[in-house]
């Protein structure tokens, strides 16, 4: 998504081929739909639910053949199907460290099968994000020092996709929350009601997911600069805040951060500038 966005910004014609029904399939589906509309508006072509049969070099570039007999001609193809660990030949197994398809196997306290050996960051299965690696390093240092820190939960690690518009999220999607809790309550707050977003000329939304009559378990945002707002979202989810808790706090106007406060107000039954 990030490369598709930046290449389009440079003026390139871009087509995204995705085998699943939506872009960014690990995000809440509401975020996917907003991103798809925004990308189409920017002129990015989307082929959703499409699989690639063959990629061939041609005299002038590359030809991509899809399963539905559609061919896409391009100058260059970026294959983005995930990353794996670069652990081969590093001597881990010789040191007694168990690997699984290249990943270092750890317990929740990041201890490997070799006594006194920990693993952190991208070698550990889960989110491959720099700030997760930072948190792992701090956790291990404190654990060795005997401070008994809380383990790092991937569910509580903020995620940002740096495309235009940005997607930022933390916690459970609505689908994940329903699978875990059954009944949940959600609220989508449109950035059309946010003064700073109107000034910036950006659209998008903030979506809150809460356990029924319980705390906020997921925050999902799409729009310009939403990555800058995910810090408060992480506090909401990590501290198991209720919408009523957040509604008590005053958010400065006009700021995009105000959208989080107003989403909480709406979910608490006290909407202000609500364009939902």
pLDDT digits (tens, 9 = 90+) for 218-235: 999 999 999 999 999 999
What are the DSSP calls for 85-150, one per residue?
A: ---TTSSTGGGT--EETTEEP--TT-B-SSTT-B--GGGSSS---HHHHHHHHHHHHHHHTT--PP
Beta-strand pair 45-48/15-18: parallel
Banded pLDDT at 275 (limits 50, 70, 90): low
Average pLDDT, integer, range 183-187:
96
Strand partners, 219: 170, 208
What global pTM score does this model have?
0.92
Tokens describing residue 43: 């002129």
Tell me the fold of 156-267.
Enolase-like; domain 1 (3.30.390)
Residue spans of the domains in the chain: they are: 2-74, 93-154, 156-267
Burial 12-27 (b: 16+ CB within 10 A, else e): eebebbbeeebbbeeb
Q: Is the dihedral of CA 158, 161, 162, 166 positive or negative?
A: negative
The CATH architecture to which 2-74 belongs is 3-Layer(bba) Sandwich (3.50)
- Chain-centre distance for alpha carbon 252: 26
- What is the C-alpha to C-alpha distance for residues 8 and 5, in angstroms, rounded to an integer? 5
Model pLDDT for residues 156-183, shown as the tens digit of each residue: 999 999 999 999 999 999 999 999 999 9
Give the residue numbers annotated as catalytic, written as ranges: 253
28: tokens are 């809440």
Strand, coil or helix: what is 190?
strand
Tell me the C-alpha distance between 66 and 69, whole Å: 6
Helices (H) and strands (E) in the chain, counts: 8, 12
Structure confidence by residue, pLDDT tens digits, 13-49: 999 999 999 999 999 999 999 999 999 999 999 999 9
């Amino acid at each position: 998504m990030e490369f598709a966005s930046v290449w389009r910004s440079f003026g390139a014609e871009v087509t995204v081929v995705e085998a699943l029904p939506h872009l960014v399939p690990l995000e809440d589906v509401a975020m996917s739909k907003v991103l798809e509309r925004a990308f189409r508006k920017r002129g990015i072509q989307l082929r959703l639910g499409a699989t690639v049969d063959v990629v061939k070099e041609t005299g002038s570039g590359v030809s991509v053949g899809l399963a539905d007999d559609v061919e896409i001609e391009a100058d260059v193809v970026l294959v983005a199907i995930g990353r794996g660990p670069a652990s081969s030949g590093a001597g881990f197994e010789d040191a007694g460290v168990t690997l699984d398809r290249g990943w270092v196997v750890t317990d929740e306290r990041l201890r490997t099968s070799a006594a006194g050996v920990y693993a952190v960051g991208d070698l550990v299965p889960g989110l491959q994000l720099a700030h997760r690696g930072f948190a792992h390093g701090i956790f291990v240092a404190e654990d060795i020092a005997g401070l008994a820190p809380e383990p790092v939960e991937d569910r509580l690690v903020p995620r940002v996709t740096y495309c235009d518009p940005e997607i930022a999220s933390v916690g459970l999607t609505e689908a994940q929350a329903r699978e875990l809790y059954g009944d949940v309550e959600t609220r989508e707050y449109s950035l059309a009601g946010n003064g700073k977003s109107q000034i910036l000329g950006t659209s998008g939304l903030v979506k809150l997911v809460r356990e029924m009559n319980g705390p906020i378990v997921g925050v999902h945002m799409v729009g310009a600069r939403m990555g800058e707002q995910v810090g408060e979202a992480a506090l909401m989810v990590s501290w198991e805040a209720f919408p009523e808790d957040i509604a008590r706090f005053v958010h400065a106007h006009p700021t995009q951060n105000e959208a989080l406060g107003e989403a909480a107000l709406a979910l608490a039954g006290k909407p202000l500038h609500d364009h939902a």
